[in-house]
Structure 1
């Protein structure tokens, strides 16, 4: 199965969305490489970055589910490298 590495940037403006967000991330935990969360207390928001290695449709589904949460914004940046098993190819 072909996979890509991607970074999902998340901004949480509604603290009430955190439980739902964590539930979604738990569903996709097999694909998550790492996670970093930064509370920005002065602005009352949280900034989260999630690194994933997954098939592109899984990454899109994850980002879409997160983006549909009230008070949550997300953007995804993809690596141009596609991994097929142990081999990698450049996506141009």
Structure 2
């Protein structure tokens, strides 16, 4: 299946949603390339940047589930780079 690389920006304004947010991220862990979280104490929010490589429908589902949590806002930005999933072909280039 074709995958896309994307960044999901997450703003958490309700600290009570963090446990559910982390549970959702755990369930999608196989697609997560990396995560960076920044607590912005002066504004009492957290900012999370999530890099993913997944089919587009999986990215949309993840972003949607997170965005439906109380006090959580999300936005996905997609790369133009596409590719096959790990199990569907090699990304290696050979010089033969």
- Shared fold (TM-score, shorter chain, > 0.5): yes
Stretches of structure 2 lacking an aligned partner (at least 5 in a row): 92-96
- 1:45: which partner in 2? 45
Identify, as 1 or 2, the structure richer in helix: 2
Pairs aligned (count) = 87
Q: 1 CA distance for matches of 2:53 and 2:36?
A: 16
Runs (4+) of structure 1 exceeding 6 A deviation are none
Matched, 1:29 2:24: no
Which whole-Å CA distance do the structure 1 matches of 2:68 and 2:81 have between them? Answer: 28
5+ long unaligned stretches in structure 1: 88-92
TM-score of the aligned structures, taking structure 1 as reference length: 0.91
Partner of 2:94: none
Q: Which entry has the higher C-alpha Rg, 1 or 2? A: 2
1:86 shift after superposition: 3.9
